[in-house]
Structure 1
Amino acid sequence: MYLDFYQLQLKPFQISTDPRFLWLGEKHEEALAVLKYAIRDNSGFLLLTGDVGTGKTTLLNALIHDLDDDVRVALVTDPGLAKLDFFNYVADAFNLDRTFRSKGQFLIFMKKYLLELQNYNKQALLIIDESQNLTQSMLEEVRLLSNIETATTKLINIFFVGQIEFNDIILRPRNRAIRQRITVSYDISKLNESEIGDYIRYRLKVAGSREPIFTPDAMNEIYQFSKGYPRLINIICNQALLTGYVREKRQIGSAIVAECATELKISGGIVGVQNQAIPESGKRPAAGQPGPSSPKSQTTDKAIDGKPKFNKSAILVVGIILALLIGLEATLFRNRQESANINGSKRSVQPTEAATALPKAQSATQIKNHAQNTIPLVGQSNQANSDQSGSKGSSDTSTADQSKVTEPDQAPTTSSIAAVAPLRSTDAKTQLSLADIKKLFGEYPEVKFGFNSNTLDNEDYYLLELIARYIAQKPSTALILRGYTDRSGVRTYNLKLAEFRADMVKTYLVGKGVPADSITTIAVGPDPDGPDGTTVPYDGQRRKVVIEFLTPAS
């Protein structure tokens, strides 16, 4: 990897919350101090909210680490549980070593436990992460849990940590009892432009860097794309270091950062945040049913005179869908025509992947045209010469034309589009099985790359989104990503390219919420070693990343 190249001892931009890389800006330090004081003061209900990727989990881990031993902490990371499961989860988090079959059993035992802690001058702190996933009924159960107290003392502090939409839940009239008990509330914001530079330099210093790696222009570009969200900063910086490594650039400039942001499909940072607050009924709306709306949104949908007014957003969405359907039909028709012409006239030529230069990210226009044409890279004369020597003697093309050969398009076929259509139309909350993915993409799904390319097509993105959805449902699943190349050219380069592609797929999955520590990347390169003892043949498409699923049962 890039550690030796940049003289680093650790990966500085891992997505996981490594305490060694804890950097607290002014807002984070203030929040940490306020929360620590509130816990010491036995304040009851605490609330920490923030947008996705603002560092809530990092701050939470720092808080837990700084608490004294006389505070017993129970952390619930998945509050979307049934009532009895939630109680048993809390009991296990407090190390009670007991399973409860009723709410009454749990409350009786919990009260005895909390009174015992008080006798030893200890405190209990229940932290509920991702609180926006609490149903209305479970939120009420948590409120009742806080009623365990003596005449003079609260026996348990309850700390809500969630996304900003949890504020909408708390503001509901039926939740005013909880809202009135929240004594400390803090909303953590994203980093500003000056803090981003300090954040990046600090993490590089902890990782062992002695020289500046990112230029000031690169820092500014990172801010423009990440908008100050630490998670996006980590993802872009890690990808930029990978790109700089394969291109042998000791310093990362703004151009590399912009290319990496394009590859990751991060155009101008976060455009909008979907409100994920649970409806007041405690149930998520079914597909096609409207969610809860505010009084303001209800009144603006009608004209002043009381007559109904058309929803411009709905009209726009319908127009976009119709345009997409028309475009898809036209594309399928053109593909059928082109396929007939190609099959009747010539065979495709597969160029080799030998190279001394390194892959360059395509521009936005090239990515848009990728489904029609793979564009040869510019300014790589050594690459062209290598391609000529790698395919010399081929009966399909002359030596003079070798540098002009491009790889056939890897866009989805008509049959594959039809196959994935049922899954595309399902609701995002529908349970997805591993068998569904393997039925569409094979036992070991593949992300295929064009000649000397590191870009993905639409079907690749869809595959990775399905995998991310599945792992969100089955978080105990692990992945092994194996990167492959053909056998032509320098072995060192091929291994580096295979590693780069596997890491690129990993970075995309991590950006979709897959835990980084559940993904292992292996650079196989030109070798035949496949998943689970299988062999990857040398013929056919070898420029790919093969995905293996490791489930708890295997």
Structure 2
Amino acid sequence: MALSCPPMAAFPTQTQTRSRFMHTSHIDIRAHFGLNALPFTREFPINKRFKHDPAEQALAALRHTVEHRMSGVLMAPAGSGKTVVLRALVDELPEARYRCTYVKVTSLGKRDFCRELSKVIGCRSAGQYNTLVRNIQEHVSASVTGDGIRPLFLIDEAHDMAPEVLAILRILTNFDMDSRLVLSVIVAGQPRLASTLKRPELAAVTGRMAHFATLRNFGRQELADYVRHRLTLAGARQPLFTDSAQDTLFELGGGNPRATDTLAFKALHIAAAKKASVVEANDLLEARAQVLP
């Protein structure tokens, strides 16, 4: 069902929005709705995540890739659950067999990227680029030889990596003249990462990736199931969003999990400020005026 949004004049003015925000920011939605935890936040046990088929399929494929000492790619729109899949992957890999290193990328050059990676894994982070690469390889190889624990690098936000920095992965995963599978790497980023990996100079890196997994936003029914799951996880005993509110939430957030969380959380505060027992469609429209550009 398509949502007919009211004209912009019908939305709260900036002054009204600021007043509403000040009025709702102190509301205890847990007490008002009878919850035992705040819903729609990032603070939830990873084993209690919403098990969305595309995400679970991506997780299973990436785990299979890592278990066979290979590397892979995870591409997903911003806010669609990419980091949740990475967290779930780490959670499912036996701690006694894997040493997982998570690196969130910023726009760094080759040397600075290697320095940051060296710091995270605990090896010497001083020296020129070639020295840093050698230090990382020796550290990883010694770890495998010494205690048999398999290293896994999780490189997040890789769409921000320059091609010459991504090219380092070919060198980092090359052990004993490319005769040993020692290090697994999962490269995660937004869809524009795909165009970077298609560049001719990165063919050797792309060729080392055994699996390319993708995520997508929720469909309408999936979003309804997600909202129900997050509310149940927070202790809700009854639906807190009307059917029309669910439709509005889908239309405004496009099925994106992060946008859904932000809008739903704010709408609960707005409804609580009105002393309402459920969230209505208009509460979502007010929430959009406060939290989305």
Question: Does 2:218 correspond to 1:218?
Answer: no
Distance 1:18 1:81, change over 3 A: farther
What SS does the corresponding residue of 2:277 show, helix, strand or coil?
Answer: coil
- Pair 1:46 & 2:79 matched: no
1:250 is the counterpart of 2:277: yes
Separation in 1, partners of 2:183, 2:106: 18
Aligned residue for 1:115? 141
Residues 331-381 of structure 1: per-residue CA shift (max 9 Å, x gap):
xxxxxxxxxxxxxxxxxxxxxxxxxxxxxxxxxxxxxxxxxxxxxxxxxxx
Aligned partner of residue 158 in structure 1, secondary structure: strand
Q: Residue 3 and residue 227 in structure 1: after superposition, are their counterparts in 2 closer, same or farther (change >3 A)?
A: same
CA distance 1:223–1:248, change in 2 (3 Å):
same
> Any unmatched runs of 5+ in structure 2?
1-27
- Aligned match of 1:105 in 118, 131, 139? 131
Aligned to 1:156: 183
Residue 156 of structure 2, aligned match among 108, 129, 143: 129
Q: 1: distance between equivalents of 2:110 and 2:160?
A: 13
Between the two structures, name the one with larger relative contact order (CA 8 Å, sep ≥ 6): 2
The match for 1:239 is 266
- Candidates 192, 213, 217, aligned match of 2:219: 192
Deviation at 1:167, TM superposition (A): 0.3
2:192 aligned residue (162, 165, 185): 165
Partner of 2:12: none
Which residue identity lines up with residue 88 of structure 2 in the other structure?
A
Structure 1 residues 151 and 226: alpha-carbon distance in aligned structure 2, compared to 1, 3 A threshold: closer
What TM-score, normalized to structure 2? Answer: 0.84
1:62 correspondence with 2:88: yes
* Cα distance between partner residues in 2 of 1:165 and 1:103: 27
1:254: how far off? 1.8
Q: How many Å separate the matches in 2 of 1:142 and 1:109?
A: 14
SS at match of 2:207: helix
Aligned partner of residue 226 in structure 2, secondary structure? helix
Alignment of 1:306-317 (within 5 A): none
Percent identity of the aligned residues? 22
Matched, 1:72 2:99: yes
- The code of the aligned residue for 1:245 comes to A
The Cα shift of 1:217 comes to: 1.7
**CA distances 1:293-346 after superposition (whole Å, capped 9, x unpaired):** xxxxxxxxxxxxxxxxxxxxxxxxxxxxxxxxxxxxxxxxxxxxxxxxxxxxxx
Q: Answer yes or no: is the 8 Å Cα contact 2:109–2:162 preserved in 1.
A: no
Taking structure 1 as reference, are residues 235 and 151 closer, same or farther at Cα in structure 2, changes over 3 Å only? closer
Query: Which residue of 2 is the match for residue 31 of structure 1?
Result: 58
Structure 2: which amino acid aligns with 1:83?
A: K
Query: 8 Å contact 1:84–1:103 — kept in the other structure?
Result: yes
In 2, are the aligned partners of 1:17 and 1:58 still within 8 Å (CA)?
A: no
The Cα of 1:58 is off from its aligned counterpart by 1.3
Kept after mapping to 2: 8 A contact 1:72/1:94: no
- Residue 149 of structure 1, CA deviation: 4.4
Q: Tell me the distance in 1 between the aligned counterparts of 2:43 and 2:185.
A: 23
Match of 1:140 among 164, 167, 177: 167
Which deviations, in whole Å up to 9, do the C-alpha atoms of 1:227-246 show, x marking residues without a partner?
Answer: 11000100110111010010
Following TM superposition, by how much is the alpha carbon of 1:151 offset from its aligned partner in structure 2, in angstroms? 5.7
Change over 3 Å in CA distance of 1:31–1:218 after alignment to 2:
same
1:247 aligned partner, one-letter code: K
What one-letter code is carried by the residue in structure 2 that aligns with 1:209?
A
CA distance in 2, matches of 1:32, 1:65: 11
Conserved in 2, the CA contact under 8 Å of 1:79 and 1:129? Answer: no
> Given the superposition, is the C-alpha separation of residues 209 and 29 from structure 1 closer, same or farther in structure 2, using an over 3 Å criterion?
same
Gaps of 5+ in 1: 267-554
* TM-score, scaled to structure 1: 0.45
CA contact (8 A) 2:116 2:125 kept: no
RMSD of the alignment, in Å? 1.8
Q: CA 1:17–1:162 in structure 2 vs 1: closer, same or farther (change >3 Å)? A: farther
Q: Which AA in structure 1 matches 2:137? A: K
Give the secondary structure class of the aligned counterpart of 2:33. Answer: coil
Q: Report if aligned partners of 2:153, 2:186 keep a CA contact under 8 Å in 1.
A: yes
The amino acid across from 1:37 in the alignment is H
Partner of 1:81: 108
**1:427-452 per-position Cα deviation (integer Å, ceiling 9, x unaligned):** xxxxxxxxxxxxxxxxxxxxxxxxxx
